[in-house]
Every structure is written in structure tokens, then in C-alpha cells.
Amino acid sequence: MKVKFSFIPILLLIALALAAVKAFAQSQTERYRVMFYNVENLFDPFDDSLKLDDEFTSRGTRYWTWNRMEDKINKTYKTITAVGEWDLPMIVGFCEVENRFVVNRLIKETPLARFGYELVHRESPDARGIDVALIYRPDLFSLLEKHWFRVEFPEGNDRKTREILYVSGIVDGADTLHVFVNHWPSKYGGELESEPGRMAAAATLRHKVDSIRVFYPNAKMLLMGDFNDEPLSAPLVKGLGACDPASEQCPSGLVNLSLPLAKAGLGSHKYQGTWSLIDQMVVTQSLYVNELGLSVLAPGQRIYSAPFLLEPDQAYVGSKPFRTYVGFKYNGGFSDHLPVYVDLVMGRANW
């Protein structure tokens, strides 16, 4: 008896397999992850005579060596890869990098090299020499512009701090995204005494955002960074005008995606046993609620708190970021901050 062989089931299986492969490929590109990371003093071991970087040299108080720098760069690469999951971030903003050299080693001398990241950076006027920087994947983000904006302090104050980095580009050939990377003045010297510096940074950032909206009212912007203040602080609320996502009215048109996390008691930095959320993502409403083009994917900002980034908090309770230094003692960790990130998608996200 002859057995009839049918090609229909085989063709059906092939069609299903191709559909599955196509669906998987689409899932790989359906979101565009944007990450921010305060890397805690990513210095090279060389002495820069123009900066106060002596402690981060092999003869300095922190005994900062080439091997320690390389270890920290590799740990930073591992963190970016982990945050990216199956598809590395489209954009990563940094603060507390010393110079172009260390970030170039990160993107050229680690496995990140195969993703072709490009770097945006310049030396800032900060006395210690720590800068902000941004890397991006040119296969997903086509750079259009880059600028740096100096923070002007109140009259009579000649203090210098990190500039605000601005870039704009086309995401996946479909929509324009404007990004600002911030590292506002710290609370060194006291919160109230140092607040005018953060208010000055907020005013500078708000002015630049408003300047773009004069010509592009619906421009999609993402403001990220270490703001050195909580989401409900005066510099964020009064200075920048960042609103709660749950607010029915937002005069500034700027939505602070970190507020729901802060309300839940979550943080990216821990000081004297208390978590705080000073690493934040703020977006324009045109990016937060949008029918066409780029929009924020729920649940908005997230904190990456994998176990390898944490260590037991012996002085208080629970865990804390596994930092590189504890005081002047080398701890061999990753950073004193946890990275934060947000996903963008094309089309309206389901909130």
C-alpha cells in the first residue's frame, strides 16, 4: 500500500516558523531603551594639571591605578548589558566621567564595541573634572545636533559646575527625540545653602526646553540625570516645573516619571540608611501621551536593582549600592548609584 505524502502540513509548519521568527524579530526592536547612570568617579589614573584630580592617581589618596580603572570600565559594561537585556540601550547618559578617554575605552575596548556606540562629550568647567556624556547606537539614533549649556549661578557666585548636554536625533528613521543630560550641583555645604545652584540649573534647563518649543510646540523631549534633589523638591517642582504623572493639569508640560517610584519609597541612591530618588527621567507631555510616533512605554521610569549591584548595608538595614569606594577605602564595587531607564515605543503606549 502506498502512503500518500502531503506537503501541506510541512508548508504550514514552515509558515508558522517564519511567522514566529518575524514576531521575535519585531519584538527585538519594538522598544527603544534609554538609560542614565551615575558611574561614581570614572577617572583615568593620569594627573591632569588643569583639574583637581590628584586623588584619582596611582600616588593619590585613593591609589587609583590602571587596573582599577579597567575593572570599573568592565563593571560599567556589564551593567549596561544587563540593563539592555536582549537589546542594548539605544542611548545611555552618564555623569561623573572624567574625560573622553575613559568613555572611549568603554565603547571601544569592551564587547560594547560590536554595537558601534558613538560618543558625545566635551570637557566641562567643573573643578574636579567630572563631566556628563552620552553614547548612542547609530543604527537606532541618527544624531542631528549637539550642544552644551553652561549653568549661570546667581549674581556674584563664580562657582563652576557641569554643563547640561543636549542632543537631538531621529529614532529608527521615524521620529525626532530631544535629550538633555544633567548633573546638577550637589548638596555639599547644606541643602538650603546649595539650593540656589540647583535652582539655577533648573532655570537653565527650563529655558532651553521652552526655546525649543517656540519653534516645535510638540517636540518630544527627555530630560535625564542626577538632579541631586528629590522629585518633590523646589528645584524640580518650582524651578523646572516637573509635574506628577497623575496630575490633571501640568502648566509646564513636563512630566516627572520618577514620582510614582518615589511615592513607593524606592530610590537610586542611599545615604545614611535612607533611599532617595535623585536620578530621574522627565519627559514632555508630547512624549508621555501621544497617538503617533514615539511615546513612553508603561510603567515609565524604572530602577535597575539587580543583586550584583547591591551589597548588605551593615550600618543600617537591607541593602545599599555596591560602590567603588567607601570613604577613601577601595570597595571594588560598581557605583554608589543604581541606573535608571525608560522604554520608548512607536505609537500610543498602553497605560
CA-CA distance, 60 to 90, in Å (whole number)? 36
For residue 335, is it within any domain?
Answer: yes
For residue 5, is it within any domain?
Answer: no
CA-CA distance, 100 to 75, in Å (whole number)? 18
For residue 154, is it within any domain?
Answer: yes
- Residues 175 and 184: beta-carbon distance below 8 Å: no
Closest CA to 43 of 58, 33, 28: 58
pLDDT at res. 190: 63
pLDDT at res. 29: 44
pLDDT at res. 86: 87
pLDDT at res. 347: 77
For residue 156, is it within any domain?
Answer: yes
pLDDT at res. 5: 46
CA-CA distance, 24 to 276, in Å (whole number)? 37
pLDDT tens, position by position, 205-247: 999 999 999 999 999 999 999 999 999 999 999 999 999 998 8
CA-CA distance, 242 to 256, in Å (whole number)? 5
Low-confidence ranges of the chain (pLDDT < 50): 1, 3, 5, 7-9, 11-29
For residue 54, is it within any domain?
Answer: yes
What is the tally of structural domains in the chain? 1
Cα 289 to its chain centre, rounded Å, is 21
| Residue 262: domain span | 31-346
pLDDT at res. 84: 95
For residue 316, is it within any domain?
Answer: yes
CATH of the domain at 220: 3.60.10.10
HSE at residue 77, side-chain half, CA atoms within 13 A, is 21
For residue 21, is it within any domain?
Answer: no
For residue 298, is it within any domain?
Answer: yes
pLDDT at res. 51: 82
pLDDT at res. 13: 47
pLDDT at res. 156: 62
